[in-house]
Amino acid sequence: MMRIELSEDLKEEMEKLREELAKLKEQLRNVTEREQRKSRGIYIDVGNRVHDYVEDVMESVAEGIHGELEKSIFIGPGGVRIIKGAVADREEEEVKVNFPKAAEVMSALGQEHRLKILKELTSGGKYINELQEKLSEITTSTLSSHLKILEEAGLVVQEKVRGRYLITIPGRTAYKMATRITRFLERGSQE
Amino acid sequence: MMWGSYQLDDAALKATETMILWRTEKGTVEIGRNTLAIPIKLNDQRKGYIFHGHGKLLLDTIVETREGAVGKPVENELNEPFLMLGNTEEIQQHLSTAAKEDLAKMGYGSEKEFLDEAEALLSQFFGKKGMHNHQCWGWGNNNGVIFAFPNETGKLDTLIANGSKLVYKAMNQVFVSNNSKVVLKTPTEVIVTGDNRKSLFIKKCMCYGNH
């Protein structure tokens, strides 16, 4: 086997080339990482350690904000609602449905005149004679009986002093729900 | 029979007829016929009464918001002694001296028993409020009224009213009303309404409003 003796100059040249190659590899790795970070949307061009640290912090903050936004702020036609822990509460509500109460509310809604009473009350509190004028097809005693059912279900409240009937927040919500379901079903049957 | 500058009269009286002690569109306080009364005096002038008989408190502690009404009316039977300051001139026209039988009907063996009970309530009210020094307490120069009703915990529910302004502080709620401006605080929520039923709801873990 023939042995080639490299000159000292040549050895030195090869060592330099190796070092140069290592530097190029390192640069290539950095550029690749940078591009990957850019593609994730957050890039701050500082030293690697600082950059990594800041990136971690930014990501955790972003995740936190995103999570909070999802569960705590609702923007709708009724205004802005900020509800902390709403997702957890809603999940719990789904489990703890008070079925007898729900049935009572649905039963109170399940009568045409009672829905008409709720509709009349959505424009403001009314005395019984004002309601009677609007629902002239039923007697005063029937009207009183309907109002009592609505009151017991918590959909209506009566003032003790002036005697006006007022629709409650659950009452307004229930009325809206009934009308929306009806509209939805009517639209479905037309299609 | 004194508490600070306020003192009780020494003669028990009774209502000669059913009386409405206070009435606005938000509430009423009325007492039945034969309800016992002891005048509360300040510098020999009647400033109020302690009543014991059968009466009723009605108060519409309801807030009307755009989302719907919140709160329930208060309807309390007044069968325990309660205190009232204000509106004395009108009331005294419908009072006469109470007889032993009138006191007995309310469970008192003597006039002194009723006076002792009344004094305990007076002390509780002024002691609690720190208003026993009348110089700090300018009541009597306006048309307002103050009521203090012992509740089931032994503490006093208070109702302060002057015209359309009303403050009611009870065991489970605080209700402040001035025409359409209302604040209602219950154990679970606080509702504030302003003109045109604009409202702010603050619930446990929840805050929202409309405008």
Residue pLDDT, tens place only, A133-173: 999 999 999 999 999 999 999 999 999 999 999 999 999 99
| Residues of chain B contacting residue A159, judged by C-beta atoms under 8 Å apart | 60, 62, 73
Size of interface A-B (CB pairs under 8 A): 71
Range with the lowest mean pLDDT among A32-41, B104-113, B153-162, B183-192? A32-41
Span B58-67, mean pLDDT?
Answer: 93
Nearest Cα residue in chain A from B65: A169
Tokens, residue A103? 């049935």
Confidence of residue A112 (pLDDT cuts 50, 70, 90): very high
Provide Rg for chain A, Cα atoms: 36
Say what the pLDDT of residue B180 is: 81
Report chain B residues whose CB lies below 8 A from the CB of A170: 68
**What distance in Å separates residue A99's CA from the closest CA in chain B?**
23
Q: Range with the lowest mean pLDDT among B103-107, B127-131, B178-182?
A: B127-131
CATH architecture label of A99-190: Orthogonal Bundle (1.10)
**Cβ-defined contact of A160 to B207 (cutoff 8 Å):** no
Q: CA–CA separation, B125 vs B155, rounded Å?
A: 9
Tokens of B71: 């709160």
Q: Whole-angstrom Cα distance, residue B198 to residue B211? A: 5
pTM of this prediction exceeds 0.80: no
Question: What are the CA-CA distances from residue A47 to residues A20, A59, A62, A150, B129 (Å)?
Answer: 22, 18, 22, 69, 67
Rounded to 5 degrees, what are φ and ψ at A20?
-60, -40
What residue spans define the domains of chain A? 8-66, 99-190
Residue from B78, B150, B147, B160 nearest B121 by CA? B150
* CA–CA distance, A77 with A60 (Å, rounded to integer): 32
Q: State how far residue B43 is from chain A, nearest Cα, in angstroms.
A: 36
Task: Write down the pLDDT at residue B134.
Answer: 46
A48: pLDDT strictly greater than 80? no
Q: Which of A78, A160, A167 sits opposite B69 (nearest CB)?
A: A167
**Residue A82 to chain B, least CA–CA distance (Å):** 6
Lowest mean pLDDT among A25-29, A39-43, A181-185, B85-89: A39-43
CB–CB of A160/B60 below 8 Å?
yes
pLDDT for position A42: 47
Q: Which residues contact B110 (CB under 8 A, 6 or more apart)?
A: B100, B103
* Residue of chain A nearest B27, judged by CA positions: A161
HSE-up of residue A156 (Cα within 13 Å, Cβ side) = 32
> How far apart are the C-alpha atoms of B30 and B87, rounded to whole Å?
13
- Statement: residue B57 has pLDDT above 70: yes
| pLDDT computed for residue B82 by the predictor | 97
Query: A141 by DSSP, 3-state: which?
Result: helix
> With 50 as the cut, is the pLDDT of residue A1 above it?
no
The mean pLDDT of chain B is 87
Find the CB nearest A161 among B28, B206, B208. B28
C-alpha distance from A23 to closest chain B C-alpha (Å): 57
Task: Please tell me the distance from the alpha carbon of residue B191 to that of residue B183, in angstroms, as a whole number.
Answer: 6
- Say which of B26, B65, B207 has its CB closest to residue A161: B26
Is the pLDDT at A118 greater than 70, yes or no? yes
For residue B41, give every residue at least 6 positions away whose Cβ sits within 8 Å of its Cβ, in sequence order, or none: B6, B7, B8, B9, B47
Give the ipTM: 0.83
DSSP designation for B66? T
**pLDDT over 90, % of chain B:** 67
Question: Does A82 have pLDDT greater than 50?
Answer: yes
Angle at B132 between CA B114 and CA B113, to 5 degrees: 10
CA distance A173 to chain B (A): 8
Q: State both tokens at A170.
A: 């659950």
Q: Rounded to an integer, what distance in angstroms lies between the CA atom of residue A95 and that of residue A55?
A: 40
Token pair recorded at residue B105: 């009907």
Please check the confidence at residue A46 and state whether its pLDDT lies above 70.
no
Residues 6 or more apart from B18 whose CB is under 8 A from it? Answer: B30, B31, B32, B33
In chain A, the residue whose alpha carbon lies closest to the alpha carbon of B69 is: A168
**DSSP at B134:** G
Residue B81: both structure tokens together: 């002694």
Chain B: residue whose CA lies nearest to A122: B68
